[in-house]
A and B are shown apart, each in its own frame.
Chain A
C-alpha cells in the first residue's frame, strides 16, 4: 500500500517551453503532497507543500510563478515548470501523505528527470 507514481519519468524540453509533471497517489487519498528538487550529487530540497484544494506553500527562495503547483484532487498534484531554462534541469521528486497514513510519514514517488536544452 501507499504507492506514489510520477509521470513522466524523464522529459527533455527546449528552453522557454513549459513542462508538467504529475504525481499520483495510487492506493490512498493524499491530502498533502510535497515537491522536492534534487541537483546532481546533492540532497533533496523541499520546494513546496500542497494541501488538496488550497494554494501551495512555497519554501523560501522558490519562485511560485515559475514552479506552479496544483493539487486539485485527493490523488493528483501537478508541478508545472514554466518557461524552463537549462538551470531548471534537475530531478524532481514528489511525496504524499493522507488521513489514513501516518502524519509523520511521507511516501515518495520514483522521481522525474527534467533536462532543458
Chain B
C-alpha cells in the first residue's frame, strides 16, 4: 500500500532564511510525487511534481524539491522564505501501479517577519 509521511505538523522559519518541509513516502513500483499548497479556505494549488528525470525539481514561487530514491524522500525547499509563504503544505504520492494519489497529513509553515 502507498503512504506518505510528513513528520512535522508545523515549521517555523524566519523571513529570508532557507526553509525545508519534509516528506517521505512508500509505494509499489515507481513513485510520482507532488507538492501542493493550501491557503485558508482555499483549494489546493499545485507547486511541483516529480515524474521522472532530474532528481531536483523546480516549481512555482521559487520552491524546489529533491527526489531521493534511497531515502524515499521528497523534501520541499526554498532558499529564502517570504512571509507570504505561510500556508499549509501537502506532499502527495502515486505509485505507477496504483490508481490514486494519496496525501500526507500536511505541514503548516509559519514564516516569521
Which residues of chain A have a CB within 8 Å of any CB of chain B? Answer: 6, 34, 36, 42-44, 46, 49, 91, 93, 95, 102, 104-111, 113
Contact = CB atoms under 8 A, between A and B. Distances in A.
Interface of B: 32, 34, 36, 41-44, 46, 49, 51, 90, 94, 96, 99-106
Contacts, number: 43
A6 B104 CA distance: 23
A111 B51 contact: no
Given A93-B43, A93-B44, A113-B41, A106 B101 contact: yes
B99 to A, nearest CB: 7
A95 B41 CA distance: 17
Contacts of A93: 43-44
A104 B44 contact: no
B74 to A, nearest CB: 14
A43 to B, nearest CB: 4
Nearest to A97: B101
A108 B103 CA distance: 13
B53 to A, nearest CB: 13
